[in-house]
A and B are shown apart, each in its own frame.
Chain A
Amino acid sequence: MPPKVEREKCDGCKAEKETLCEQVCPGDLMTLDENKKAICRMPRDCWDCMSCVKICPKGALETRIPYQLGFHVAKLIPLMGTDTITWTLIDINGKVERFHYINRGSLD
């Protein structure tokens, strides 16, 4: 399912020629609406790769599992470091887990 855009948080990547979510989406799905907020132009076509969610500097994007497939509501929030990534996972029962690991360079 397409990323849900939190409109208050999205600043339309003002400083960029092309917004970051638009730059990375492998399916050319992210764009700006008339109010300069991010929007997924073909919600049905999203692959849920989360590239846009990971790159958004404002944390304005959230991948949601459609209700037809999963229950309301689980969350998965990535936080990108320079050579690490931290994911916060909240399941439908409110259980919170963190996953933190190196995604660039040596593991030693």
Chain B
Amino acid sequence: MPVETAKKIDDIQTEILETDLLIVGGGNAGCFAAYEAKSLDPSLRVTIMEKAHISRSGALAAGMDAINTYIRRDKEETPEKLVKWSRAQMGGGPIREDLALSNAEILNEGVELLEEWGLPIIKDEDGEYKLRGRYDISIHGEQLKPIIAEKAMEAGAQVLNRVVATNLLMDEDRCVGAMGFGVRDGKFYVVRAKATIVSTGGACGIYKSPVTDYSGAHHQTWMCPFNVGTGYAMGIRAGAELTSLEQRWVAVRTKDFCGPVDTLAVAYGCLMTNGKGERIMEQRYAHLGGEKAPRFCRLNAPMNEWLEGRGPTYIDTTVLDPEEAKDLRTDMLNERPSFVLFLASLGIDITKEPVEIYGSDPYIVGGHTGSGYWVDISRMTTIPGLFAAGESAGGSPNKFVGGCAAEGRLAARGASAYLKNVSLPPVDSAQVDEEKKRTFAPFLRGPAFDGINPTEMEERLQRLMDEYAGGVHQFYRMNEERLVHALKHIRKLQEQAGLLHVGDLHGLMGAHEVIDRLNIAEVLIHHLLYRKETRWPGWQTRMDYPEIDPKLDCFVESVRDPKTGEIKVFTRPYEQLIPGDRLKP
């Protein structure tokens, strides 16, 4: 029966599948994990559960113009130096240096594989990958995602496209797969697996974007708006430990239409300026490191210029000659083509006029900061059988394309070793029935039901977070009372999530997206409340605690009790493995 006409839960078909390794999220890390697992053991059954189609999904959907992390050993770069650089970019951390090092050690292999698979990478005179920043190489990555997806499929992974994961399948405290629904076929999927890797990317859309209200372009976001953080949310609901959510990633971007800024500075020498024509990093923020200041300072500085009456702010593209301006736009066509269209719609010649910049909405994303699952060195989370990779895994920031790919491979190795010693329990039909009911509930309330649609609730959450939990419209600032207010209202929204009502499967996906975002927002606020200091201004600005508190030089962690819903927050110590001044790259 087509699900659109289903009236009761029994009208919905349940598909129970069995595999060895389940990968939830077939993005960059997920496809690399599948490839690695199949390379290690071709007889292993590997299944990818993907909400979109793996050929164009997630962060890489539009393409990429660069791989931000590659280690040129001939230039005396090493994994240790990369980790040191990453730590300095985070204002000295804390970061998980063990994780970052293990990623860095196999980083280059993945990039070289990509070239072998057909990714065009720009070379220098010596035939080496041409650097455009210290660890940054340029690619023509328009086809990056299709290329990676093809390799995962060729390796023999089974791919369930258009299946949206909703929850983990648990055997008491152990993860034994995941469940979800087909957004096209309307079936309920139960995939039983000896080991599961979560690689659903980060969480976009917890906060309101600066462009939302006046254009109807609700998804004018830098991060992929279809990555809503389901991976985190499933872990939160199952009682997994999450780390560093308060380390939000916020970026300076071109104003009104997300285009890159740091790239233009690093690769093309275009610097940020203010309304007075000053080069702001050198002239106003030299004490923070000037042009070499950590990423959060580069976000906070232009926003501060607005606040102090020196806006607007720009990225000075007038230093470019016409050929460079064309190269720059070629890069952008590979990564965010609509940004090139946006420039054309302003009708400006960027070699004559600078481009305006502004802060983005905040994201939770373990590819850029340390937010995500707490994992051990094999990438196993605190839930046995559950692994995490890429933006879903926390602790090691600045992974980007290369690091997320590397981590996918590491998680596959960890999961492959783990699953050799486990067997699958029988199907727990009570758990399956309960999740099936929860999943389809917004769809089965009957046409006369007077409820809430997912868009309304999403917009309400995003405005709440924006105003009370440090969004762009509040210049990322927050204080205790505002956070407590946000928490109270999130709880109310969670209560009313039982009133979500949708008429089709796309709507059902929207309902679960907002439910997942609510889980993340609730835990995020606990993290923001706990860090009574300001360690990364812009990313985490507590107006009531404006200084760094040396006692908080540690990781902030959380676990939600699946039975009571209570959220516990605690700390873990930082361990410095790479010696030296933590603030120096």
Point out residues on A near B: beta carbons under 8 Å.
1, 18, 23-28, 41-51, 63, 65-66, 68-71, 73-76, 78, 85, 87, 89-93, 97, 99, 101-108
Contact = CB atoms under 8 A, between A and B. Distances in A.
B345 interface: yes
Contacts of B225: 27, 45, 47
Nearest to A65: B345
A99 B329 CA distance: 9
B122 interface: yes
Contacts of A41: 506
B142 interface: yes
A44 to B, nearest CB: 4
Contacts of A85: 142, 333
Interface residues of B, number: 54
B157 interface: no
Query: What are the 8 tightest A-B residue pairs by CB atom distance, in nearest-first order?
Result: A70-B345, A74-B344, A48-B338, A91-B344, A68-B215, A49-B62, A74-B345, A76-B341
B440 interface: no
Contacts of B217: 1, 44, 46, 48, 66, 68-69
Nearest to A69: B256
Interface of B: 51-53, 55-58, 61-62, 118-123, 140, 142-143, 147, 162, 183-184, 211, 214-221, 224-226, 256-257, 326, 329-330, 333-334, 337-338, 340-347, 455, 506, 509
Contacts of B346: 70-71, 92
Given A28-B509, A51-B61, A101-B330, A71 B347 contact: yes
A107 B121 contact: yes
A57 B216 CA distance: 28
Nearest to B256: A69
A102 B52 contact: no
Given A48-B219, A91-B345, A101-B140, 17 more contacts: A26-B53, A28-B51, A41-B506, A43-B216, A44-B455, A48-B217, A48-B338, A49-B56, A65-B345, A70-B256, A70-B341, A76-B340, A91-B344, A92-B347, A99-B333, A107-B120, A107-B122
A85 B506 CA distance: 32
Given A87-B333, A103-B140, A69 B62 contact: no
B333 A65 contact: no
B223 to A, nearest CB: 9
A27 B56 contact: no
A28 B183 contact: yes
Contacts of A93: 347
5 contacts: A23-B55, A69-B217, A69-B220, A74-B344, A75-B344
Contact of B326 (A63, A76, A99, A103): A99
A49 B146 CA distance: 14
A102 to B, nearest CB: 5
A92 B218 CA distance: 24
A61 to B, nearest CB: 12
A12 B333 CA distance: 27
B140 A92 contact: no
Nearest to A62: B341
